[in-house]
Structure 1
Amino acid sequence: MKNIRLITILLICLLSWGLSAAARVEIQGARLSSQNEMARLVLDTSGPVVEHNIFSLDSPDRLVIDLAGVSLSGPLRQPDPTNPLLTSIRSGERPGESARIVLDLKRKVRVKSFCLQPDGRHGYRLVVDLTPKPEQEVRQEALAEASRGLSGHPSVQQRSVKLKARDVVIAIDAGHGGKDPGAVGPRGTREKDVTLAIARVLARLVDKEPGMRAAMIRDSDRFVILRERIRIARKHRADLFVSIHADAFRDRSVRGSSVFTLSERGASSEAAKWLAARENEVDLLAGIDLGKSNEEVAGVLMNMTQNMTMEHSMLAAKPVLDELGHLGKMHQSRIQSAGFAVLKAPDIPSMLVETAFISNPEEEKRLRDPAFQNQVAKAILVGIKRYFEANPPPQTLFAMRNDRGASSIRHVIERGDTLLDIARDYQVSLPSLRSLNQLESDRIRVGQVLRIPES
């Protein structure tokens, strides 16, 4: 889920070096490098940079880096004329014990920043990676700006209505497929066909629900390796992963449904695999480049992420299990745990649903029946909705429904906004604005969404 990723990001600096009220950090120098069309700025600092904010400015294109509690030891190194993205670097100190660095750009860029600990050769570092923004994205932004017909920034009243709730994404995985038929029933019914039929019904039902969208892992009779199923779900930024199967057993009298989540043992082995693959580790841990000296920190972050994911997997599986129980006998009345490979995405709550025993002649007949397939899909959908209603991801329709009683107005922070200005424009008190959004200070960030109290 997205909130799992957000919590991980917020805890990274705390776990890496802790927050303290130490002396001001000093920027001791800047190192620039470039490769192909990418540019990297590395700021060498005397201590950990606890807080920094990066935003862009237009006409001309610039990137601004604000660093709280940081001072400058002197002018920063200028980029080489051959640098693909930077023309110059300006810096200065601002009131309130903060430093500002302005990067003059040759074109619009995408930005990723992360902090690094001392590694023996270098001390503390803040790394800022720049990549060119695709021309299509630049054109779309220009068209959007032109369509608003504004010469400057939109007013807060105009911006407050442009926020759209994003859909929660359900990755639906039809078990087996292609050269892997799965279990085969007494009448020759193949598990891969039954699971695909139920998955398609579930996808249609999900897509009909406001604020929900289905992402099919496979929508045809094709073979998809287990790791690829996780990759597809992560590509769609899924909020929940549901794998559909039809169980089999040598005793043909065994029947009923069951729901599985990842076992702790399976999670532990999976954490080791993710931490062994650097590209996966960086992708999962919010883009943080963790070196060998940070293995302990990486392990802690991985465990935190996985623990939250496993907790939400259980929370999602419980209502699905309850709803399936209304269809008939359950094989297992409690959520089961196993090391299924498809459940091992560390950042996506996942469950595996054994809809029925295809090895049982009576249940095989039911699994072939479109009416029963529809009942199973509806039960899974109702359970999923119950989970998201109780645990709504941020900026989704589920979250807005939950918050509607407190406030129906949302405001998206853009550069130049201050909390005081927002309170004045909406004619609400600053304390009420802080309280409703659980803000401990007046610091806000670009892209943050604030709820506006009733005036």
Structure 2
Amino acid sequence: MRARGATVQKVLMAAALLGALAWNLAHASQINELRLTSGATGTRAEIRLDIESEVRTLSLSGPDRLVVDFPGAQLAKGIQLPGPAGIVKAVRAGQPEPGTTRIVFDLAQPVAALRPHMQPGMGGPSLVLEWPGDGQPAAQVPAAQGRVASAPTPATGAAQVPAVVAVDPEQAPTTAVTEVDRAASAAATTRLITELAARATESQAASGATATVTTTVPSAAPTVQGTPPAAAPAPAQVQRLVAERAIRPLVVAIDAGHGGQDPGAIGPNGKREKDVTLAVARELARQVNATPGLRAYLTRDSDVFIPLNRRAVLARQAKADIFVSIHADAAENRSAHGASVYVLSLRGATSQRARWLADKENAADLIGGVRIESTNDTLASVLIDLTQSGQMRASEDAAGHVLTSLGRVGHTRRVEKANFAVLRTSDMPAMLVETGFISNHDEERLLADPAHQRKVAAAVLDGVNTYFERQPPPGTMYAARASAEMAAAGGGSP
């Protein structure tokens, strides 16, 4: 009798275990999609699930890889693992133990990923993994260059722009445009130097002075073959500034406001500020990269949330010379319209509107889940640096040029000041550009129009270009051009 009772107990326990296993399988989370992209800010992986799941990560070396375990999760049937992109050489999936799905990212370099975070979405939450960098690991540079084929050089030796072939737009949405634009920039730079040297030659020929000049492209730009004037006479200072490979590009940090779980303002027809700002930022980056002497850096080139203080850090790490944060304004008054430009103020706002806007933009970190206390550690030192540097005055000067250029696109106001957290950087001039009112029905339509986005981007670039022309930093194309023009006018080196 006692033996029969023990047998019944075992059967019941087995049934309970099977029931629990069946329940777990029925309620296990499922990995429905895995995406991998790379761009100007680095490499990004998104692992979309149907429900939130426990996640464990582990970084390994020799070889370098990141391991992500999902206890209680399983891969959806037919899921496709992405191909290599950016720093990630390959993606593998397996099951180290029953009930646990493992995804392994093989890395080309020992780059530490940013802290993983869950991002809500319409199709379910996604685990976001990001590896900072330019999205182009050193080990892959030769292969990437192999996709760029230079057209045959004519007998005249004119500079040629490489043609990009076999580029997958899904894997690299902006890479092809950037490579072509930078090559075009290099070709334009060569022509610019040659033209300036010729002008200086004409000026010196009139006075009987001669010197030789060697035209080269700045080292940061792609190499473009060209034929310099044979033994063209030019002033010695032009030879020193241009022939030496010390010319560096000026880096324009372009910050697309909001992103990820922070949509920003939403227009009457549902257009989201984060989408508009990203589109304008990408177009501005394209135009910047096509400008001789300039190079663009995007703080984000995908729909991802970045804390406000982190944006300035990214720009600083990119050694940016100027910081431009792109936004689209909103107001309760739906008839409000026009673009505006803001700079940092440590002594209060210049208007109630500027103060309200700064408070609204600074609240973006709260939406993203960032604790305000965590941003106060470095704030005091940054503010002290700002009061002791000339960057606030430089910011206002640059903002004035941008505002003037935007006035040729549409209605604008004066440059305003307020305590914007995203502009708290003492390393470079910084401004926040409100490209228009997304809350205005007509401007919402314009802000979503690629043709208007090109006009706005061109106006911002024109203002930045004017600022650097008026105050050319040493060792840049702008300084070399100013020196050559002064030499051509007979004024000597500045």
What TM-score bracket applies, with the shorter chain setting the length?
0.3 to 0.5
**Highest relative contact order (Cα 8 Å, sep 6+), 1 or 2?**
1
TM-score, with length taken from structure 1? 0.47
TM-score, with length taken from structure 2? 0.44
In terms of fraction of residues, the more strand-rich structure is 1
